[in-house]
Amino acid sequence: MKRVYEVLAWALFCAVVGALSVWPRYRMVDSDDAIVTLTFTHAARRIGECRQLTQEELDTLPPNMRKPADCPRERHPLRIELKSGETELYSDILPASGIWSDGKANVYRRVVVPAGSHTLHVGMNDSGGTGFDYTKSAELDIAPGRNVVVRFDTELQQFLIH
């Protein structure tokens, strides 16, 4: 009789765990919305150009510090803009990471948008000038509950929209 109660207890436990694994149903967004995710890491261009050192300047340096060029470490801030049609979804100016502002800027933003037809436009400026150095536009029909990912491929030097 003890075995029967033990099997019933385990069956009840499995039924409760099974029910809680599918109920209540979790939804990331409402049934008529979708998500656009902008995510990438990028190192902007350096603030200044490298300067070639003269032989006299090299001679004044200790032997372990003698390198032919003097390059600044600091990088420009990264300016990002993500739009759907004329609606701005995300816009920011991100400083370079690191103690000397010489690292990569990290971008991760999730935006909930209504499902349907969208003209996504993303632009990035990494040179400190006006306008955008990299842009991408795409006409998308986003299904409800879907997640569209926008990322920057550093090898191809372009935005990719998945």
Task: Give pLDDT tens digits for 128-138.
Answer: 888 999 999 99
Does residue 30 carry a pLDDT above 90? no
Are 28 and 35 in contact by the 8 Å Cβ rule? The answer is yes
Is the torsion defined by CA of 148, 154, 155, 158 positive or negative?
A: positive
Does residue 120 carry a pLDDT above 90? yes
How many whole angstroms separate alpha carbon 32 and alpha carbon 41? Answer: 30
Domain ranges of the chain: 2-161
pLDDT at 88: 96
pLDDT at 70: 85
- Bigger pLDDT: 153 or 2? 153
Task: Give pLDDT tens digits for 46-99.
Answer: 998 888 988 999 999 998 988 888 888 899 999 999 999 999 999 999 999 999
Does residue 151 carry a pLDDT above 90? yes
With a CB cutoff of 8 Å and minimum separation 6, the contacts of 58 are 66, 68
